[in-house]
């Protein structure tokens, strides 16, 4: 099984990069399943149903993170039967939507997907490690061996810890949220593919996808300013993981970076 995960999709430029590149990547690498993190798709913070539906024309499933709830309208969308938009699994149990799923891939395999959110420098949510224990055990009980985890958090140490904690029990733990693609992709000793952060889909001539001027103003004044999406030098970033269907162990992980033509 070959799986593509693209990082935080930022606004209209990020959505354009997904539309342009994912179908071509799917064909070029014979991808079986494509996932993207959608928490920034609507104006840089939050998700709308229309934006999610647009992405799902190119991607098979969406994960999210701490900005999931920025647009109140998403609550009903998350609760729709068969929704292909996840939210972090370690939110309180009465939160709309779900944080994990098992899907059938076009090749006839089964893939478990778990969306987690970290707690370091973020909200005091339920323990993502114990949440992962419970969900992974449940998937193994169903005979699911190929399992992907989006570890959405701020601290690189927390992402690394989750990778090693789940090593040998899941196929991949790929980090999101910080929008900067790291160069530490590897297959851990137990057979789990890992990278601290897969990066973002959006404008590089920016500060993590936002207008440079707005971001700099925040740092200089320590006062709020608008989250305006930047434009120019739009890129798609992510990672492709090749997984052995029988064992669920990763064979390889490769970083992806594509630049949208001007």
- Cα four-point dihedral sign 225, 11, 148, 99: positive
- Burial of 39 from C-beta contacts in 10 A (0-12 / 13-18 / 19+): buried
Residues 80-97 as b/e (b if ≥16 CB within 10 A, e otherwise) read eeebbbbbbbbbeeebbb
* List of residues 6+ apart from 80 with CB closer than 8 A: none
Question: Tokens standing for 230?
Answer: 């930047």
Active site residues: 67
- Burial of 143 from C-beta contacts in 10 A (0-12 / 13-18 / 19+): exposed
C-alpha 38/C-alpha 212 separation (Å) is 22
Beta bridge partners of 253: 241
Instruction: Name the percent of the chain in helix, strand, coil, to the closest 5.
Output: 25, 30, 45
Distances (CA, A) of 87 to 115, 164, 173: 6, 23, 16
Phi, psi of 128 (to 5 degrees): -70, -25
């Amino acid at each position: 099984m070959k799986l593509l995960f693209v990082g935080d999709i930022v606004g209209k430029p990020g959505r354009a990069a997904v539309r342009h590149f994912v179908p071509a990547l799917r064909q070029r690498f014979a991808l079986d399943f494509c996932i993207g993190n959608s928490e920034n798709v609507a104006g840089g913070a939050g998700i709308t149903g229309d934006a999610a539906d647009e992405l799902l024309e190119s991607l098979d499933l969406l994960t999210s993170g701490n900005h999931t709830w920025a647009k109140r309208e998403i609550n009903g969308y998350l609760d729709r039967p068969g929704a292909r938009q996840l939210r972090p699994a370690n939110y309180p149990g009465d939160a709309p939507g779900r944080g994990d799923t098992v899907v059938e891939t076009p090749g006839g395999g089964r893939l478990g997907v778990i969306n987690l959110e970290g707690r370091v420098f973020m909200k005091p949510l339920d323990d993502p490690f114990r949440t992962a224990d419970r969900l992974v055990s449940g998937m193994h009980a169903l005979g699911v061996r190929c399992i992907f985890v989006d570890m959405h958090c701020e601290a690189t140490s927390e992402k690394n810890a989750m990778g090693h904690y789940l090593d040998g029990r899941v196929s991949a733990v790929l980090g999101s949220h910080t929008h900067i693609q790291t160069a530490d992709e590897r297959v851990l000793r137990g057979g789990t593919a890992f990278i601290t952060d897969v990066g973002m889909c959006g404008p590089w001539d920016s500060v993590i996808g936002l207008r440079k001027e707005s971001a700099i103003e925040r740092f200089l004044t320590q006062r709020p300013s608008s989250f305006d999406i930047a434009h120019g030098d739009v890129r798609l970033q992510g990672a492709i993981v090749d997984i052995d269907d029988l064992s669920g162990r990763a064979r390889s992980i490769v970083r992806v970076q594509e630049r949208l033509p001007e």
